[in-house]
Every structure is written in structure tokens, then in C-alpha cells.
């Protein structure tokens, strides 16, 4: 097994077509096919199912790709660490729940490593996809929270994907409402106060259960529920419908607007915000900077 072979299978998986992958890798199609077959034989797996339409990754192929991406990323990290004289394109990807501090830390990262060329990715996405992204090597780290209501299920999923959770910040749940909301003058808001208003939550796709929810409270606790996919829509509905959502209480006026405010929720619970990463994986310098930027924004806010 060589790093070149690992790069080959990742490129084929990304392209979904051996001919296209061969062109991208500047090698002949027969040479690429032979290299993949040799790796499959060495590992004792069938990574791809070939057809006239291209290739489809098998279940065991997904596992092989996960390891391949991790090893390639670790090789890049080693080159970054020891190859100080080599000019390399900065690369980093993070998947996160819909947090303003995660976006602000990403902005800090780009400002720190601004260059003629870079490839940075931030995915604000569903909880299950965050864990899948990190497990599959699509993102180096993920940003999620654990609490009393979801920890057993999410922690098991993290462990089963050979990931670890590192706690960074403990927050008390807050209600996000508009500054013109009828409850805006209250110092602390109780769940009973919210019954008359629409509860806005992020839709979680096939894993749309209480355990994968970004919000601290179940939709079953409230009669009016609206599911959305992005942060801008959620906050527009918070303002337009006197709706509310429940999160960490960490807000950024420049990013979310001054019309959204946070009020403590009267519950004796906590949200443990942190990162997920591959077990025993050495983070790149970009990921390390991003983690420190996250800590800074969380402590400032």
C-alpha cells in the first residue's frame, strides 16, 4: 500500500468515474484501474462496483476510503510540520451546527492564513452529517454539543465511528427571540411562557429525532413547530412571527443582527459545546488555530 494508491481511490470516489479520475491524476485509465485492483487485493476488499455509468463505492469501500482520507490528511499534516520551506496551499474543512462563534472562528482562520491560494470549507449542517463528515474524512473536525438529553445516543455514535469529543465550553440554555418579542423584557423565560409562540428548529433529515436536535427542548413540548434548514431563515422567522429557538446564548450582533437577543431559560440543564475529531489523529496547524479561535470567541461571548 502506498500513499499514491490511497490518493487514487479517493480521487476515483470523488469523481465517480475512472476515466475522469485518470485525467485528473494525469495517468492512463489502465494504470489507474490496475493500481486500484492491486490495493483491493492487498486489503482484501472490493472498494468499487464498476458499471457503464461509472463506479459506486461499496460499504467496505467506504471504510477503506475513511482510512485513506485520514492517512492522506496525516501525511499532509506531517509535510506542513516538517516541510517549513515548502509552499503549500492551506487546506481545512469543518462541519458544525449553526453557531455564530463557529463562523467567527472560521473568519479568523482565513484572515490568519490568507494567501494567493487556499481551500477552506465550512459546512453548517445536520448533526448526523457532522459526525459522518468527520468519520469519512470530509471534515477534519466537527462542532456539536452534548447534554443530559442527547449524550448517551450521540456519545455512542461518536465512539462507534472511532471519534472522540473534546469539551470546550459549558453553557446554560438560552431562548433566542427578537428584541420586540412580548417576552423581551423578562429577565428569565420559563417554558410555560413560550407555549403561545412558534418554536423554530433546524430540520435533521432522516435523523430528525430529539437526540439529534440542535435545540435543547423537544418539539413535542410545544404546540407550534416550524423546521428550517438555514440560520438566516430561522432568524427571519424569529423576527417575523415572534418565534423562538433555544441554543447556547452565544450571539454575535454583526453576524446575526442586533434584532436577535438571548434570554436565559429557566431549566437546570447545561449544554457542553465541543469538537469531534478522529481518535488519535494529529490535527493540522489550521485545525489547531481554528480550535483556539473557537475558544477565544466562546470566552469573549
Averaged pLDDT of the chain = 88
CATH fold for domain 171-271:
D-Maltodextrin-Binding Protein; domain 2 (3.40.190)
Nearest alpha carbon to residue 92 among 281, 296, 293, 283: 283
Backbone angles phi, psi at 155, to 5 degrees: -65, -40
- Please report which confidence band the pLDDT of residue 136 belongs to, taking 50, 70 and 90 as the band edges: confident
pLDDT at 170: 93
Average pLDDT over residues 137-166: 93
- Alpha helices in the chain, H assignment, sequence order: 3-15, 18-25, 29-43, 59-82, 100-112, 127-136, 151-160, 231-240, 253-256, 285-300
Q: Using CA atoms, how far apart are residues 198 and 107, in angstroms rounded to an integer?
A: 32
Give the CATH number of domain 88-163+273-300; options: 3.30.465.10, 3.30.360.10, 3.40.190.10, 3.40.50.300.
3.40.190.10
260-264 and 91-96 strand pairing: unpaired
Residues of the chain with pLDDT > 70, as a percent, come to: 94
Residue-wise pLDDT tens digits, 169-221:
999 999 999 999 999 999 999 999 999 999 999 998 877 677 888 887 777 78
Backbone angles phi, psi at 272, to 5 degrees: -100, 100
Q: Assess whether pLDDT exceeds 80 at residue 247.
A: yes
Q: Assess whether pLDDT exceeds 90 at residue 70.
A: no
Which residues of the chain form CATH 3.40.190.10?
Answer: 88-163+273-300, 171-271
CATH fold for domain 3-80:
Arc Repressor Mutant, subunit A (1.10.10)
Q: Assess whether pLDDT exceeds 80 at residue 15.
A: yes
pTM of the model: 0.74
Cβ burial, residue 6 (10 Å; 0-12/13-18/19+): buried
Which of 134-138, 154-158, 163-167, 217-221 has the weakest average pLDDT? 217-221
Nearest alpha carbon to residue 90 among 281, 240, 299, 287: 287
Q: Assess whether pLDDT exceeds 90 at residue 94.
A: yes
- Asked if residue 64 lies in contact with residue 45, where contact means CB atoms within 8 angstroms, the answer is yes
- Please report which confidence band the pLDDT of residue 289 belongs to, taking 50, 70 and 90 as the band edges: very high
Which residues of the chain form CATH 1.10.10.10?
Answer: 3-80
Which of the residue ranges 21-25, 145-149, 189-193 has the most confident prediction, judged by mean pLDDT?
189-193
Cα–Cα distance list, 268 to 186, 194, 249, 263, 275 (Å) = 18, 17, 15, 15, 23
Amino acid at each position: 500500500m502506498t500513499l499514491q494508491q490511497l490518493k487514487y481511490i479517493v480521487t476515483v470516489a470523488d469523481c465517480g468515474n475512472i476515466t475522469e479520475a485518470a485525467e485528473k491524476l494525469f495517468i492512463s485509465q489502465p494504470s489507474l484501474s490496475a493500481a486500484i485492483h492491486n490495493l483491493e487485493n492487498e486489503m482484501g476488499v472490493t472498494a468499487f462496483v464498476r458499471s457503464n455509468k461509472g463506479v459506486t463505492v461499496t460499504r467496505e469501500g467506504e471504510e477503506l476510503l475513511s482510512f485513506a482520507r485520514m492517512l492522506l490528511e496525516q501525511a499532509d499534516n506531517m509535510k506542513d510540520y516538517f516541510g517549513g520551506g515548502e509552499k503549500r496551499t492551506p487546506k481545512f474543512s469543518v462541519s458544525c451546527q449553526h453557531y455564530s462563534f463557529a463562523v467567527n472562528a472560521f473568519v479568523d482562520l482565513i484572515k490568519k492564513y490568507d494567501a494567493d491560494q487556499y481551500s477552506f470549507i465550512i459546512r453548517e449542517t445536520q448533526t448526523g452529517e457532522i459526525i459522518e463528515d468527520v468519520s469519512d474524512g470530509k471534515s477534519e473536525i466537527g462542532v456539536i454539543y452534548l447534554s443530559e438529553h442527547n449524550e448517551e445516543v450521540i456519545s455512542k455514535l461518536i465512539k462507534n465511528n472511532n471519534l472522540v469529543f473534546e469539551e470546550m465550553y459549558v453553557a446554560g440554555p438560552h431562548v433566542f427571540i427578537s428584541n420586540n418579542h412580548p417576552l423581551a423584557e423578562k429577565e428569565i423565560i420559563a417554558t410555560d411562557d413560550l407555549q403561545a409562540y412558534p418554536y423554530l428548529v433546524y430540520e435533521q433529515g432522516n435523523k430528525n429525532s430529539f437526540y439529534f436536535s440542535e435545540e435543547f427542548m423537544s418539539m413535542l413540548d410545544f404546540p407550534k413547530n416550524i423546521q428550517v434548514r438555514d440560520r438566516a431563515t430561522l432568524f427571519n422567522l424569529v423576527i417575523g412571527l415572534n418565534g423562538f429557538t433555544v441554543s447556547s446564548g452565544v450571539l454575535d450582533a454583526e453576524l446575526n443582527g442586533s434584532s436577535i437577543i438571548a434570554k436565559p431559560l429557566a431549566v437546570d440543564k447545561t449544554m457542553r459545546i465541543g469538537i469531534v475529531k478522529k481518535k488519535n489523529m494529529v490535527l493540522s496547524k489550521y485545525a489547531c488555530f481554528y480550535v483556539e479561535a473557537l475558544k477565544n470567541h466562546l470566552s469573549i461571548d
